[in-house]
Amino acid sequence: MGNPLLDVQHISVSIDEKQVLHDVSLQIGKGETHVLMGPNGAGKSTLGNMLLGNPVYHLDGGKIIFGGKDIDGEKTDQRAKDGMFLSFQNPLEVPGISLETFIRSSLQQRTGEHVKLFQFQKDLKAAMQLLNMDESYASRDLNVGFSGGERKKSEILQLLMLNPSFAVLDETDSGLDVDAVRTVSKGIEEYQKKRDGALLIITHSTKILESLHVDFTHVLVKGTIVKTGDGALVQEINEHGFEQFLGTGGSEAHE
Amino acid sequence: MNSSWEREAVRLMSDANDSGKTQVNDIDRSIYDFRYDEKDFYRNDPGLTEEIVSKLSDDKHDPAWMKEFRLKSLAIYNELKLTNWGPDIGDLHMEHIATYVRPNTKMQGDWKDVPQDIKDTFEKLGIPEAERTSLAGVGAQYDSELVYHNVRDEVAKQGVVYTDFESALWGPYADMIREHFMHLVTPRDHKFAALHGAVWSGGSFVYVPKGVHLTFPLQSYFRLNAKGAGQFEHTLIIVDEGADLHFIEGCSAPKYNVANIHAGCVELYVAKNAHLRYSTIENWSKNMYNLNTKRAKVEEGGTIEWVSGSFGSHVSYLYPESDLVGERARAEFTGITFAGSGQNLDTGAKMVHKAPHTSSVITTKSISKGGGISTYRSAVYIAKNAAGSKASVSCQSLMLDSNSRSDTIPAMEVLTDDVDVGHEAKIGRISNEAVFYLMSRGISEEEARSMIVSGFANPVSKELPLEYAVEMNNLIRLEMKGTL
Amino acid sequence: MGIDTTINNIPALTWNWLKINNAPFSYSAAMNAAGSAVKGTVPAGVSYTADADAEADAYRGIETGAGKNTDSIFETTAGHTALIKAEKNVHVSAPVRIDFTQDDRSSTVSAQIIRAEEGSSITVILVYTSGKRASGFQAVRTICSAGKNAYIHLVKVQLLGSSFTQIDDTGTVCEEGGRVEVTQIILGGKETYAGVAAALPSYQSSFKSDTAYLCLNGQKLDMNYVVRHTGRKTDSKMSVKGTLRDTTAKTYRGTIDFKKGCAGATGNEQEETLLLSPTVVNKSIPLILCDEEDVAGEHGATIGRLGEDTLFYMQSRGISKKSAEQIMARAKVTSAASLIPDESVVTLILTYLDKAFTYE
């Protein structure tokens, strides 16, 4: 691949002095959709968090190059400003800040410009409609009292409004019912179309991928990528599970 | 309803960029640090003797009963000891503090006639703008004396009395004042209440007649300017049956080398079915000893709401007390305390249930940072005859680093069984996960922490009028700056 | 012996008018040691030394709940300090039980040291009984020292007569990974002063305490519980549940003290008090003192009478108000009693409870 947007080179990652990822390499080009699958405890969330620079994880070796820049040492907010986004597996409640204010502040940080209120509210309303989110959520405190499904929608809403060039979706479909998965999937599709953004979808079930176009699939087992294929690999795993890949990979990871 | 003078003050206090974010650095606090040479100003001898208290009383043209009251209070002050709990105030040397400074000007009815440098003080703090706004009136205090005060026509027409304390002693409400003055907070309560009784000066008297609902808040403003001077203003508010009032008290003082003391007193009488909301942001300079006593007495069906933000002062002892003496009386206290470097803030609330079916709610937040000490101290007392009462206390503390300290000391005394008392307290730090979450959206670490702390303070700031909430959020930002 | 002092002192003072900072205590009478402490069978792996004054020295200075002001009482325990020790890596399954049967008009003092060596675990049950209307004075001080990764479960059951005064004092300390659990049931006596101080100076040590009480007919209970977190990742959980009825008074002081350096520590304190008569006096003061940023502390208290919803639910099942109150009061005690690994002790407690409620 020529100049990938994201170039992960042989990284090893640990948390609390325990190694979780071993010699992981990955390249994601502009506009590509990659899927990262694997059994529980493989280290999938670790990868997502590491890309965004979560300080609890430690980069023991290797490089992470984003947009041609070595981002090791760059703080999380700088990476976000560079165009990265992480949809969290368990989005936190942040009392005292409304969802709307939060998104507007984030936008302001990204663009460095004052956000025009009228256009912003129009865009927000449209995005919430697409995601079947009631308007009232905009003025509620960020994730406070939101059900699991609503929190995930809140993450995808932020994805649509912040328009990053690269988004990591960490187990976005976990805990969602059938309808919610479909809605969230619609949101992801919208992002793919509108932005032509690169995606790394982390999941261990395949429901959410059914209507999405997938370019590459990677299987992570015990902290190592044991197989890379195209979209068809997803179907294969759907039918046969991860059995064939177990027994390979490094030590037990902490997700 | 916005106050342009408040916004002016806020703008003067910080450099706001277009995104509304404030960048405040040390120098901006100096807005409160200016003072003027005290050329002609009259000063009392330092120290407290009977002669001084007598002279003070004579200078103020007190009625005879007040002079006697002052002298009796002085005797009690000399008798009482300091408390055996709470922050150390050994550094406060009363003998060095002049207790009375009066600028050489008489009470002014019209702003035009007030001396220029005194005007400048208020101008810098944005007071004059108040005239043009929908505020009812502003009583602004300058060094123990009410210099400028004006009661709006509308307020006066409704029969609401809002005047400085000294003149009220001789006016048509003299008897009402005599009946109430220091009957709620008595000189015997503690040493600094006795001090107050002896040397009180300045403050406001407010009377809201039966059934009158004031649609906008009454404000008062305090300022301390003289080196070593003390502030002993007295606020007495009587809200008569069925009436409604929102009173806002905000104060500030410059930095000095000599210890400064604020021993004010606030007495609030809420009559049957009346409603009073008392909001304060205490932002005294970081060398002040803030030993304030506030107490409300609530009759049958009445309600008192306290909203309190404590930010400044070197040492604070502040526990607004609500005495619920009539059936179904209610009290609510919402407060936030932010103790930064060099501060020891001991704050909280007291709820005293002395009648059946009364209820009280305490919600407080406290933040400690940079070596600051914050202590939450409360007492909920339910008397034998207060059957059917409910009390709930919720206090949350946030520690921002390990140099700071945060203590929670809530006491409950219940003397009957027919009650419902609930209490919960939490202490912790800013969640790293929350910081990471905000940073992953491009928000800087410093801004993320500031947002989380503002979010933490939100339940209090949303109870304040908008301009105060803005001031409070700015104060938080100011305090948060330099965390990293 | 004469003593006139304040005990159960709270770690941080507050308004004196609340009269909650400490409990004044005075007593003067000669110790007559009338009454016997009978120990049950000592299980294998446990060594029991009845007269362990020499060893006792090593445990002096450990903070106890009733506090230093009671030291003078316990100085008279010459010959009465028992040392109960579980050897290294021994998991003693059967509890060590000591029954204190106090005679009428007796005045006794006793002390115990429970030491669990590295990797061991032991349960010690102390039961205090006397004649139903007996009078007297009893002071007990128990020190628990849990070695590395060791576990001590201390159970104290008080079923003394209606004119007894008791000071039940406890102090605990743990080494790395050590755990101490204290279960206290206080049902008898006229005036009881219970104090427990737990020190957690070592990494990942923990303390748990469950106390249940019932105060009827003029009983008085004064409590002081303190946990001091100095070690990293230490954990504490304290729970106090009980009922007050008739003219009774109870004071509860519970302190979680996070000292600088105890990063990662967690502390939780809960109080539930059921009030059943208009003549009760309840004082509660749950403190959290904090000098360390990286901690999580929580406390909660609910005080009052039987909730209307609960009452309605029970009445809809044919249970009268009085019965409902008894059921709830009982439940508070049985919840802690269920932690006691000795059937006969639990039976003793339940029997006592049944009889107590017939004092209508």
User: Domain residues for B72?
Assistant: 38-441
Q: Is B356 found in the same domain as B302?
A: yes
- C-alpha to C-alpha distance for A202 and B349, rounded to whole angstroms: 50
Q: From the candidates B415, B417, B420, B424, which should be mutated to test the interface with C, based on the most C CB atoms within 10 A?
A: B417
Can you say whether residue B292 is alpha, beta or left, with left for phi > 0 and alpha for psi between -120 and 50 degrees? beta
- C-alpha to C-alpha distance for C1 and C138, rounded to whole angstroms: 13
Q: Is B375 found in the same domain as B299?
A: yes
Nearest to C102 by CA among C140, C66, C154: C140
Residue-wise burial string across B241-253, b where 16 or more C-beta atoms lie within 10 A, e elsewhere: bbbbbbbbbbbbb
Q: Is B171 found in the same domain as B289?
A: yes
DSSP H helix total and E strand total for chain C: 5, 20
Q: Is C276 on the interface with B (CB under 8 A)?
A: yes
- C-alpha to C-alpha distance for B24 and B480, rounded to whole angstroms: 10
What is the SS3 assignment for A194? helix
pLDDT bucket at B223, cuts 50 / 70 / 90 = very low
Task: Please compute the mean of the pLDDT values over residues B79-107 and round it to a whole number.
Answer: 64
What does the pLDDT look like over C5-32, one tens digit per residue?
A: 999 999 999 999 999 999 999 988 777 7
Please give the mean pLDDT across all residues of chain B.
Answer: 77
State the total domains in chain B: 2
Q: Is B244 found in the same domain as B155?
A: yes
State the total domains in chain C: 1
**B18 has a pLDDT exceeding 50:** no
Q: Is B390 found in the same domain as B244?
A: yes
Find out whether A36 and A47 touch, Cβ atoms under 8 Å: yes
DSSP string, B440-473: TTT--HHHHHHHHHHHHHHHHHTTS-HHHHHHHH
DSSP string, B35-89: ----SS-EEPPSS--HHHHHHHHHHTT--HHHHHHHHHHHHHHHHPPPPSSSS--
Task: State whether B436 and A76 contact (CB < 8 Å).
Answer: yes
- C-alpha to C-alpha distance for A51 and A48, rounded to whole angstroms: 5
Task: State whether C20 and B411 contact (CB < 8 Å).
Answer: yes
- C-alpha to C-alpha distance for C51 and A162, rounded to whole angstroms: 75
In this structure, what token pair is assigned to residue A181? 């998965």
**C341 has a pLDDT exceeding 80:** yes
A111 interaction partners in chain B (CB closer than 8 Å): none
Q: Is B232 found in the same domain as B205?
A: yes
A52 interaction partners in chain B (CB closer than 8 Å): 436, 440
What does the pLDDT look like over C316-338, one tens digit per residue?
A: 877 788 888 888 888 899 889 99
Q: Is B259 found in the same domain as B384?
A: yes
**B438 has a pLDDT exceeding 80:** yes
Closest-CA residue in chain B for A80? B442
Q: Is B16 exposed, middle or buried (0-12, 13-18, 19+ CB in 10 A)?
A: middle
Query: Which backbone phi and psi does B126 adopt, to 5 degrees?
Result: 80, 15
**C39 has a pLDDT exceeding 90:** no
pLDDT bucket at C223, cuts 50 / 70 / 90 = very high
C239 vs chain B: nearest CA distance in angstroms? 14
**C64 has a pLDDT exceeding 90:** yes
Q: Is B472 found in the same domain as B353?
A: no
For chain A, the chains sharing at least 3 beta-carbon pairs closer than 8 angstroms are B
Q: From the candidates C291, C305, C308, C328, which should be mutated to test the interface with B, based on the most B CB atoms within 10 A?
A: C291
**B99 has a pLDDT exceeding 50:** no
Q: Is B448 found in the same domain as B402?
A: no
Residue C103: CA count within 13 A, CB half-sphere: 10
Q: Is B432 found in the same domain as B452?
A: no
CATH number at residue A232: 3.40.50.300
Q: How many residues does chain A have?
A: 255
Most confident of B95-99, B246-250, B432-436, B477-481: B432-436
Task: Please compute the mean of the pLDDT values over residues A131-137 and round it to a whole number.
Answer: 93
pLDDT bucket at B95, cuts 50 / 70 / 90 = low
Q: What is the ipTM of this complex?
A: 0.93
User: Domain residues for A195?
Assistant: 6-245
What is the SS3 assignment for C176? coil
A108 vs chain B: nearest CA distance in angstroms? 8
What is the SS3 assignment for C119? coil
Q: From the candidates C246, C270, C273, C288, which should be mutated to test the interface with B, based on the most B CB atoms within 10 A?
A: C288
Lowest mean pLDDT among B153-162, B229-238, C171-180, C219-228: B153-162
B390 vs chain C: nearest CA distance in angstroms? 9
Task: State whether A80 and B457 contact (CB < 8 Å).
Answer: no
- C-alpha to C-alpha distance for C81 and C139, rounded to whole angstroms: 12
Task: State whether C12 and B409 contact (CB < 8 Å).
Answer: yes
C208 vs chain B: nearest CA distance in angstroms? 19
Domain membership flag for residue C354:
no
- C-alpha to C-alpha distance for B2 and B8, rounded to whole angstroms: 11
At residue B100, the pLDDT reads 43
- C-alpha to C-alpha distance for B161 and B240, rounded to whole angstroms: 12
**What distances in angstroms separate CA C331 from CA C106, C243, C276, one per listed residue?**
32, 10, 15
Q: Measured between CB atoms, which of C13, C280, C302 is closest to B84? A: C13
Q: Is B113 exposed, middle or buried (0-12, 13-18, 19+ CB in 10 A)?
A: exposed
* CA distance from start to end of chain A: 30
At residue C34, the pLDDT reads 57
Find out whether B293 and B192 touch, Cβ atoms under 8 Å: yes
Query: Which backbone phi and psi does A190 adopt, to 5 degrees?
Result: -60, -40
At residue B26, the pLDDT reads 27
User: Domain residues for C137?
Assistant: 2-307
Which residues between 99 and 158 in chain A have a beta carbon less than 8 angstroms from any beta carbon of chain B? 102, 105-106, 108-110, 114, 141, 158
B and C in touch (3+ CB pairs within 8 angstroms): yes
Q: Is C34 on the interface with B (CB under 8 A)?
A: no
Task: Please compute the mean of the pLDDT values over residues A39-45 and round it to a whole number.
Answer: 84
| Helix (H) or strand (E) segment spanning residue B119 | helix B116-124
Q: Which residues of chain B approach chain A closer than 8 Å at the C-beta?
A: 18-19, 431-434, 436-445, 447-448, 451-452, 454-459
In this structure, what token pair is assigned to residue C199? 């020190």
pLDDT bucket at A231, cuts 50 / 70 / 90 = confident
State the total domains in chain A: 1
For chain B, the chains sharing at least 3 beta-carbon pairs closer than 8 angstroms are A, C
Chains A and B form CB pairs within 8 A to the count of 80
- C-alpha to C-alpha distance for B443 and B421, rounded to whole angstroms: 41
Task: Please compute the mean of the pLDDT values over residues B288-296 and round it to a whole number.
Answer: 91
B and A in touch (3+ CB pairs within 8 angstroms): yes
pLDDT bucket at B93, cuts 50 / 70 / 90 = low
Q: Is B413 on the interface with C (CB under 8 A)?
A: yes
Q: Measured between CB atoms, which of B377, B415, B418 is closest to C281? A: B415
Q: Is C232 on the interface with B (CB under 8 A)?
A: no
- C-alpha to C-alpha distance for B335 and A232, rounded to whole angstroms: 59
What is the SS3 assignment for C215? strand
Q: Taking the model in full, what pTM does it have?
A: 0.82
- C-alpha to C-alpha distance for B157 and B167, rounded to whole angstroms: 19
Domain membership flag for residue A22:
yes
